[in-house]
Amino acid sequence: MKYFFYDHLEFRYEPFPIGLARPVMDDGLYNELVDNYPPIERFRFMPKLGKKYTLSERFNKADYDAVIQTNPVWKDFHGWIKSDDFIIDVLTALKARNIDLGYDLTQPARQRLGRLVKDIAGGVISPRSARLRARFEFSMLPADEGHIKPHTDSPAKIVTLVISMLRDGEWSPAFGGGTDVNRPRDITRVFNELNEQREFEDMEVLDTYEFTPNQAVIFIRTFNSWHSVRPMTGTGSSSMRKTLTINIERRL
């Protein structure tokens, strides 16, 4: 089963490629995923990242696995995210928009392995031989001052998709919650290959992708892919900014 479609995907290319696909899913399927989103009791609070709760393969794995294995909707979704077909679909959509990352998962695994061996022998690992994998996490940010500080993502990541998980009318736009495209005010801080976090006041906001239902914010991880979610303004609200964050990354 194919979950996402990219017919409406449009990018901006400066200072790094970032775009929006909306709608990204069939409404019926989207609503089924939203209805089965895990409760906050299964999440772990992650203060080092800002004011954020997460449930993933890496954090609170037992509860994550329980959600995937006991819920047919998420079990099927997880299987698709872990497939080469998902990664190929994303790379194909990017290439059609002049973003060719150089990876080719359509070649037979044995041929890719042979290229990897040759590259290792030559002391260079290139996209043509690299292996990719995908994973996703459930993420929540409280409307009451929830945030994610400016960062560029870890060097292993290639592409990130942030999928909104909310019903129509569930979120007040007045709270904020959009994904900001940032540029450091100090030009010497633009290069951030190792994913150092910065403060909000260090950044100029170039663009904001609002938090709305059934959309995917998709961006390429680069040395300057600075992005963030500024502190939200829903003081006293119990609302949560719920998302799926899907990462395509290199693996050794």
The pair of structure tokens assigned to 212 is 């709305």
175 domain residue, yes or no: yes
Band of residue 120 on the pLDDT scale cut at 50, 70, 90: very low
Whether residue 167 has pLDDT greater than 80: yes
Q: Is 107 helix (H, G, I), strand (E, B) or coil?
A: coil
Tell me whether residue 123 is in a domain. no
- For residue 252, what pLDDT is reported? 60
Degrees to nearest 5, angle at CA 81 with 159 and 129: 55
Alpha-carbon distance of 102 to 33, in angstroms, equals 32
Give me the pLDDT at residue 105, please: 72
SS3 148: strand
Is-above-0.85 flag for pTM? yes
115, pLDDT greater than 90? no
Q: 121 in a domain, yes or no?
A: no
CA nearest neighbour of 212 among 23, 5, 79: 23
Phi, psi values for residue 212, rounded to 5°: -135, 160
Inside any domain, residue 122: no
Q: For residue 2, is it within any domain?
A: no
CB-CB contact of 87 with 134 (8 Å): yes
CB 129 within 8 A of CB 118: yes
Selection from 219, 234, 212, 218 nearest residue 34 by Cα: 212
Inside any domain, residue 38? yes
Q: How confident is the model at residue 236, as a pLDDT?
A: 95
- The answer to whether 171 and 211 have CB atoms below 8 angstroms apart is yes
- pLDDT tens, position by position, 40-56: 999 999 887 778 999 99
Structure confidence at residue 9 (pLDDT): 98
- What is the per-residue pLDDT for 113? 44
CATH of the domain at 40: 2.60.120.620
Residue 217 inside a domain? The answer is yes
**8 Å CB contact between 38 and 138:** yes
Q: How many domains does the chain have?
A: 1
Q: Which amino acid is at 94?
A: L
The pLDDT value recorded for residue 104 is: 79
Residue 186 lies in a domain: yes
Mean pLDDT of the chain: 91
**Confidence band for 128, pLDDT divided at 50, 70 and 90:** low
Confidence (pLDDT) at 119: 53
248 pLDDT higher than 70: yes
Residue 180's domain spans which residues?
10-96+135-251
- Identify the pLDDT of residue 106: 67
